[in-house]
Amino acid sequence: GQNIDQPTEMTATEGAIVQINCTYQTSGFNGLFWYQQHAGEAPTFLSYNVLDGLEEKGRFSSFLSRSKGYSYLLLKELQMKDSASYLCAAYGPNQAGTALIFGKGTTLSVSS
Amino acid sequence: DAGVTQSPTHLIKTRGQHVTLRCSPISGHKSVSWYQQVLGQGPQFIFQYYEKEERGRGNFPDRFSARQFPNYSSELNVNALLLGDSALYLCASSLSAGSYGYTFGSGTRLTVV
């Protein structure tokens, strides 16, 4: 079966650091995506991890452990505009074809 | 450069009706995938098309169908609409069926009343 778990909501203040965790169980796995989605808008690509370890891209970093079925997205120096939903998605072959399997998303609220 | 374009942006339909949603991929992308996103949930995979052939299908009833045209644009059709079909329908394009470089369109917001 396919299962992607991430927290429903998180809150943080401007300038802080927040870590959004994601655990996954999928029948086929090539890699792990993180997307950002503002309300009513399309998901936008943040990161894609294939190998274990940390990938850093500006204020955002993403980590993957394939053996543990675990990933996290780290957001540093939070800004108000970072308030959004963050979607974890496993990519790989499964009974439906090769597709993205998304978690339910984590709504992050950044306050001043 | 144009991104993935979807039409219409918003739509209101009555239960039992039929709806057609349209998607134009990024120029050069030959694969289109459709996702349904119910409010408060993550997107759920419906279909993937590549070179006009269905390459993947999610766990959706036969009321949902799609096709891809020679210019790689795509249509998603939903028959006998139910209230539960109300959602944001997202289209994503990629270079090929096995390519993970997805770009999403802004979606079509379907409301069934």
Chain A partners within 8 Å of B38 (Cβ): none
**A30 part of contact set with chain B, CB < 8 Å:** yes
**A102 part of contact set with chain B, CB < 8 Å:** yes
What pLDDT was estimated at residue A15? 97
Where does the pLDDT of residue A1 fall: very low under 50, low under 70, confident under 90, or very high at 90 and above?
A: low
Chain-centroid distance, C-alpha B84? 16
Interface with chain A: mutation pick from B10, B45, B108, highest number of A CBs within 10 Å: B45
Weakly modelled stretches of chain B, pLDDT under 50: none
**Which of B42, B55, B88 has its CB closest to that of A102?**
B42
- Give yes or no for residue A65 having a pLDDT over 90: yes
B37 and B44 Cβ atoms separated by less than 8 Å: yes
**A14 part of contact set with chain B, CB < 8 Å:** no
Dist. CA B29–CA B71, nearest whole Å: 10
B87 and B76 Cβ atoms separated by less than 8 Å: no
Dist. CA A95–CA B4, nearest whole Å: 26
Judge if the upstream peptide bond of residue B61 is cis by omega within 30 degrees of 0. no
